[in-house]
Amino acid sequence: MTIYCDIDGTLTDKPTGPWGNPNKENIEAIQAAIANGHTVVLWSATGESYAKQFAKKYEINAHVCLGKPDVCFDDWKTIRPKEKMRILPPDQIIPWITAHGVPQEAR
C-alpha cells in the first residue's frame, strides 16, 4: 500500500506551522507501516526540505519526502478536497495549463 502522510497537525500537534510537538503514536504507526513493507510518502506545505529534515529527525525511512503540490490532476472524483490543495480532473489539464501561462514550448 502507498500511504501519503502530512506532517504538521498529523505527525505533530501543530497544524499551522513546522516543528510542533511530535505525535509519537502516529510517528510509531508510520514507522511500523514502513517496517511492514508499505511505501510512505511524507509531505508538507512547508516544503520538501522540511519534510526531509522531519523524516531524519524522527527516523522515518520514507520512500519520498516532498512539499504539497499547488495543483494535482486526478481522475478519482472522491479524492477532491474542498480546501487548500486543488485537485482537478484530467479534462482540466490543458485549460488549467493554458490559463496559467505555461509556455507553449513546455507543453
Each residue's pLDDT tens digit, 69-80: 877 777 766 665
Is the confidence at residue 63, as pLDDT, over 80? yes
- Measured CA to CA, the distance from residue 67 to residue 51 in angstroms comes to 7
The cell for 61 is 525511512
Q: Are 55 and 65 in contact (CB under 8 A)?
A: yes
Domains (ranges, CATH) in the chain? 1-68 (3.40.50.1000), 70-107 (no CATH)
The cell for 48 is 520538501
Q: Are 12 and 51 in contact (CB under 8 A)?
A: no
pTM of the model: 0.74
Which of 4-18, 42-56, 58-72, 75-89 bottoms out in mean pLDDT, i.e. has the lowest? 75-89
DSSP code at position 69:
P
Is the confidence at residue 49, as pLDDT, over 60? yes
Is the confidence at residue 54, as pLDDT, over 80? yes
